[in-house]
Structure formats: C-alpha cells, structure tokens
Chains A and B, each alone.
Chain A
Amino acid sequence: MAQAVPTQQRPPLWRDVRVLRLVAQVAFVAVVAIVLRELFLNADFNLSRRGRDLSFDFLRTRAGFGIKEHIISYTSNQSLLRAFLVAATNSMFVAGVGIVLTTVLGIFIGIARLSTNWLVRKMAQAYVEVFRNTPLLVQVIFWYSGVILTIPRIQDSVSLFGVVFVSNRGAALPGIEGGADFSVWLLFALAGIVAAAVVRRYRTRVHDETGRPHYRFLFGTGAFFLVAVTAYLLLGDPFAIQAPEQGVRNYIGGTQISPEFVGIIIALVLYTAAFIGEIVRGSILAVSKGQKEAAEALGLRPGQQLRLVVLPQAMRIAIPPINNQYLNLWKNTSLGFAIFFPELINVTGTIVTQGGAELQVFSMVVLTYLGISLLISLVMNIVNRAVALRGAKL
C-alpha cells in the first residue's frame, strides 16, 4: 500500500518553536530596556523636582581641596574631574604594587605550606589561618593605628646611616633627581637591558654548543652596567642621588612614602597572600604525583623539581583563582579610606560634598572599579591562554 510521504511542512507561526524563541528573546530585551528607561526617567524626574539634574557639569568646577599624595600632578586649583582621576590613579597604584608583592609572598607561603620542615609548615599554616580569618578592615586599622602610628614621631625619627629615615609620618629614602638629560639616559638604560638579553642568549648558545658554564647572569648584568655607566659618563650627570633631610615637621627631598600608603599595602598584601598561598598549595597538590616522581628519577633535587617541573604546571592551574584574588585586592583598596589614604572612595566623598551630585559621582566610581577589574581579568586571561597546554588533559 503506497502512502505518500508527507512533505516537511512548517507549523503555523504561533506554534513554530523557532519563531516563538525569537519572539520571546525580543520581548525580553524590550522589557529590560523599558525597565532601565523607567529607572532612569524616574531618577531624572525626582531629582529635577528637587532642583537637581543628572548633568556632569560640576566636574569642571574648581576642587578647592588638597590631596596629600598623588601619582599624577595635582593642585587644589584643578577641577573636580582631575581630583577624581588623581584618586583613581592612587587606587590603581596601590593595587599594582599590592598585586606584585602579594603574588611573590603568596607563592612563597603556598610552597612553605608543603615544606618537609615541620616548623616552616606550621608557621605558614598559622599565617594563613590568622590572616584569612580576620576581617580585612580590622587588619587595615590594626596595621595603621596599632603599628605604624605608634612608631616614633618625626622629631625622634629612626635613621639608617643618615640617608634613610623612618617615623610615623612616613619613610624617606634617597631619591633620584633627574637632570637635563635624564630621559636620554633612560633610553640608554633600556638599550642596556636589550644588550643584556642578547648577551644572555649568546652565552646560553655557547653553553649548549660547547658545554662550558655560561655564567649568563654575570655576563648579562655586566653588559647592562657597561652600557649604563658609559652613558652616564658621556652625558655628564644626567641624574643625582638626593638624600632626604629631616625637617621639623616633614622630610625634605628624597623619595618619601607615606604611612597611610604603607599601612594599606601591608594589610592588603598580607591578607591576600594568605588566600593566594592556599591557591598555590592546592595547585601544587593538583599536579600529578607522577611528575614529581619522574623528576626525582631524573636526579633533580627537590628545589629543582619544584622550580622546573611542578611549579610551572601548578601555576597554570592557579591562574583563574589568583585572578579572583587580584580583583579582590583591587576592590579592597577602598579600605584605605579608613586610614586616611586618599583613594577613590575617600576623595569622592569630598567631591560629592563639593558638587552635590551623588548619583553621577557614584556611577563614575562603579564604572572605574568595573573597568579596572575587567582590565585585570583581560590581562590574566591572555596569560592563561598563553600558558595553557593545547589539547592537554590534565
């Protein structure tokens, strides 16, 4: 019995799954857009009823207040926008320095947690438990009020060889005072680094071909210093080392570090390093045990096993969780507020008092934190992709 095969017919539009999905998505987007529009209009309406608006004009007005430390230049005559940027760059600088330091310390703590030495292992464990389990704000205030403020006052500064001073108003170190040709010298220094890299590769090649010890570090450093010193002599004093002096109320000259900066850095680094230490420990344990045994069978010492075989594989695993910790550190810079460090939250409080535009200012704050967080994640993702094993199953 022949039966005609029914041809593929499209169901009616209102029953066609593909059409319904599309319509649902469009409707959802439309609803979200409408809700956002309503929120925005509501804010605008209520603000204008109180004689305020959503403009950003206030950013042009004169700031009128001082910011005691800044990475980019600033005077109280500049605009509120400039003040905002100064505060943002302060926060970023704290985060940058903090991320570098906490990574170094965190890796060290993680390895120490797995040490064969009982004392080292227990001390690392104590460190992690203490710093992980107390609130960061408490730690920040402790380091500042409990430790830094209690060191001798500036009149009683502790001094090392007369060129380094420490007191509760900060530390002063010898600083570099750039002369006329300082930037030219810096270019030469850069060339020196390139030269060092070239020499290093050459020495490695020599070593590979002939088996003679390469001493590549010594040769590389030598090359760099050769270029740098020659450039210094040729240019005739492109910079000078300036030692600080102890004034009555402040240090004069040199490179100065404020106690607030030190306080927030110490607190952030110690706290985040505890978390990074645990991540590193977990990553090292996650590397297949066979790798360590094979490395041992090859005759590598424990330190070499760790450095050459285990750690490179472990850090691959550790990158995404460490990225999280970097983001936490960046956002936690806002706690500098509690110890007078002029970071973003501290200064925006004053900007709001000056300009009165809370909604606009806090939107800017949110976008800044969001933007830099995305930037950090972007960089870490690039690193992650660069070191990922292609097609490997770990």
Chain B
Amino acid sequence: MRRGLMAKFVVALAVFALVAVGCERDGGTTTDDNGDAAQQGGNLLQEVIDRGTLRCGVNETVPGFGFAEAGEEPEGFDIDFCRAFAAAIVGDPEAIEMTPVDADTRIIALQNGDYDVLVRNTTHTTSRDGTEGLSFAHVNFYDGQAMMVRTESDFQSLEDMDGANVCVTTGTTTELNLADRFAELGLDVTAVGGADNTQLQQAFIRDRCDGWTSDRSQLAGIRGAWPPRDGGPDALRILPDVMSKEPLAPAVLDGEVALYQVVNAVVHGLIFAEELGVTSNNVDQQAQSPDSADIANLLGVPVEEGAAESINHGLGIDNDFMQGVLAAVGNYGEIFERHIGANTPLGLERGINALWTEGGIQYAIPFR
C-alpha cells in the first residue's frame, strides 16, 4: 500500500500548506511564552498580582547595589527597591524572584518576559527609552562615570592619562563615554574591554591597565571589596573627574503603564517618606495617628479618627501600599545608609542624592 500512503502524505502536506497560508496574521498564532502581556497591551501589573510574586532583573556582581555572596541570594540597594515594589504590589516584600542578568542581556531578557521589573543600576538614556523600548521610573540613584587608578600612580586627573590603557566593561555606555571624553581632551586611550568584572580585576591588579572606568558607585563597590593581599581599598583611588551623567532608575517594558505607575509611585513614596521623616520605626505609629495630612496621604490613612478616606490613587493597588513598603525596607535614606552609605564598605556620600531640602536633587511628587 505504498502508493496509497504516498498520496495521503502529499494530500496532508497540501492541506497543511493551505492552512498555513490562510492563517490570519494576528497576535494569537505565534507568540513566545510570556508574550501574552505585550499582546494584551499592558496587563503585567494584574498578572503580577495574580501570580503573587514579583520577578526582578538584578545585578549580582556589584557590591552595595546588587551582590550575591557565593550560594546566597543577591542583596543590595537595588534589591531593597525590588522588595519595596513587591510589598506594594503583592503585599509581601519577600515574594520576589530575582533573575541575575548582565549588561549585554538585561534588556533582551526583559523584552522576552523573563522578569517584570529591571532594577539593576541601569542608566536612563534616550535610546533606551526609544530603541530598546524601556520605560524608566524616577531615578533612584544619580551616578556618574569615574576613573579609578592605583594610589601609587601619579594621576591626579584625566589630563594626566594620555596614552593610558583603561579597563572597561563592554556592552555598556561606559565604553562610549570613555572614547568621547578622551577625544574631547585630545588624549589617546587604549580601551581594554571585557565582559566580566572578575577578569578585568585580574588585568587591573597585574598592571595591564592603568585605570578602570565605570560608574562611580560600581567603582566604590569594587574598591570596597578589594582584597587585602593586593593592598585593600587604600591601594586604589577614584579620580574626582565626572565623565558622564548616569541617572540610574528602575525600568519596565514600554506599554506596561499600570506597572510603570506603581513602580514610579513607590520610588517617589520612599523619597517623600524621608522628606516627611517617616521611617520603618515610626510608620506603624504614624499610620495610627498621622502627624500631618501629607503623612496621611502618603500612608493612605484617614487624617484623624473618624475622618474620611484621605486619598484614592487609582493605581490598581491598595491605597495604603506605602505602609507595607516602609515597614519592609524603610525610607530612601534608610535604604541608602543600609547598603551604600557612610558606614558601609562603599562609603558613598549622599551628595546629589540627598533630598532637595538638603542640598541634593532627590525630590518627590506630591501624594494627593
């Protein structure tokens, strides 16, 4: 019966071909596993609420911001923001799944739906808004690119570094800024570019590179963790020159409006809480009897016993979301001091990350 089988085969092929051609080009035919969110045009917030877990794209190699000890979960400044978002959206700061991503793949992974929010010391730029389709919430850390050199070298500023070999991480805006800044100063530079911080560290230790350039926060973290047998943190110096602006902010995918607004509100809420003096210690007491109408709005509680509801944000989450957030991670200042402040190995000053009332530029939008 070979001929009969052959005929059936040909007929089956022809039918399949016709069906394939005839299929409408709609979003339903071929999407990847997590393309649903984009397909339905921005339901990721509801999906996260239903799922009960928030997935964050994080760093695990930058001390202070996102760093994982061997075998442990990552901890750091950005991780606390992830917890804050989870507290706001699903009510549990520990209901998070962290996906460590590196600079090359972070954006592709977000677009693929591997995680929901990117909170990984990522610079907000116009092309990331446009070409890469990200929506950045309010800046959670104003950073800048800097150059780190050995203390024993005689470099005092970038002008001294003509012809230097500089270690840099590829796939980041750092490389581009390095080339541009040195070109502006009319100096030669040889960029030794790699993907892995540990490899770059080896090259820098061995004097393959005269300098190492990256965001100042990252350099502070690397310096803070510099091994004692190579001289410890005192063997390194970060030059004062600011090579670029690097406003670091959490990001979600374009089109996820509801999720974006919640993430943005949480960041502003953390800054607003510091402005109002609400901390993880007094948030419960303030929730019971708020000192001011502003605090009542922030925490989503009535101004006083028997008063009407203070506020309805209409963000798709409970109006008292900031209570859970502040109880879990504290306000912006607390998060800063806990991971990257003066008492940590990074030892960063608040600098421009201080509140606008204290000489910095962190300024929250009103909660009303």
Please give the residue numbers on chain A whose beta carbons come within 8 Å of chain B beta carbons, in ascending order. 14-15, 17, 20, 23-24, 27-28, 30-31, 34-35, 38, 41-42, 45-46, 49-52, 64-68, 76, 141, 145, 149-150, 153-154, 168-169, 247-250, 259-260, 337-340, 342, 346, 349-350, 352-356, 358
Name the CB-closest residue of B to A21.
B6
B13 engages A28 (CB within 8 Å): yes
Compute how far the CA of A338 lies from the CA of B31 in the bound complex, rounded to whole angstroms: 34
Say what secondary structure dominates the interface of chain B.
mixed
Contact of B175 among A15, A154, A248, A350 (CB under 8 A): A350
CA distance A300 to B77 in the complex (A): 78
Q: Which of B7, B31, B191, B196 contacts A68 (CB 8 A)?
A: B191
Inter-chain contact B133/A66, CB cutoff 8 Å: no
A65 interface neighbour in B165, B176, B253, Cβ under 8 Å: B176
**Within the assembled complex, what's the spacing in Å between the Cα atoms of A14 and B11?**
11
Q: Report the minimal beta-carbon distance from A50 to chain B, rounded to whole angstroms.
A: 5
Please pick, from B20, B107, B127, B208, the residue contacting A149 in the complex, using a CB distance under 8 A. B208
Interface-side segment among B91-99, B198-206, B302-310: B198-206
CB–CB A45/B208 < 8 A: no
Given A64-B176, A66-B190, A168-B207, the answer on whether A51 and B14 have CB atoms closer than 8 Å is no
- Flag B121-146 by CB within 8 Å of A: 1 or 0 each: 00000010011110000000000000
Decide: A41 near B199, CB < 8 A? Known: A31-B16, A66-B179: no
B170 at the interface (CB under 8 A from A): yes
Q: Indicate if the CB atoms of A149 and B172 lie closer than 8 Å.
A: no
Check if A30 sits within 8 Å of B164, measured CB to CB.
Answer: no
Q: Contact at B10–A65, with CB atoms within 8 Å?
A: no
Among residues of B, the one whose C-beta sits closest to the C-beta of A16 is B3
Interface residue from B132, B172, B194, B208 paired with A356 (Cβ < 8 Å):
B132
CB distance from A85 to the nearest CB of B (A): 18
Q: List CB contacts (< 8 Å) of B181-211 with chain A.
A: 183, 189-196, 199, 202-203, 206-208, 210
Assess the A51–B180 pair: CB atoms within 8 A.
no
Q: Does B176 lie within 8 Å of A27, measured CB to CB? A: no
- Known A-B contacts: A42-B30, A353-B103, A353-B104. Give 14 more (CB < 8 A): A20-B3, A27-B17, A31-B20, A68-B191, A76-B180, A145-B199, A149-B208, A248-B163, A250-B165, A340-B192, A340-B203, A349-B195, A356-B107, A356-B132
When the two chains form their complex, are residues A249 and B165 in contact, meaning their CB atoms are under 8 A apart?
yes
B180 touching A352, Cβ below 8 Å: no
A289 to chain B, nearest CB (A): 50
Nearest chain A residue, comparing its CB with the CB of B167:
A340
With both beta carbons as reference points, the residue of chain A lying nearest to B182 in the complex is identified as A66
On whether the beta carbons of A64 and B180 are closer than 8 Å, the reply is: yes
Contacts A51-B133, A64-B180, A249-B163 given: A27-B207 contact, CB under 8 Å? no
A66, A141, A154, A349: the one contacting B191 at CB < 8 Å is: A66
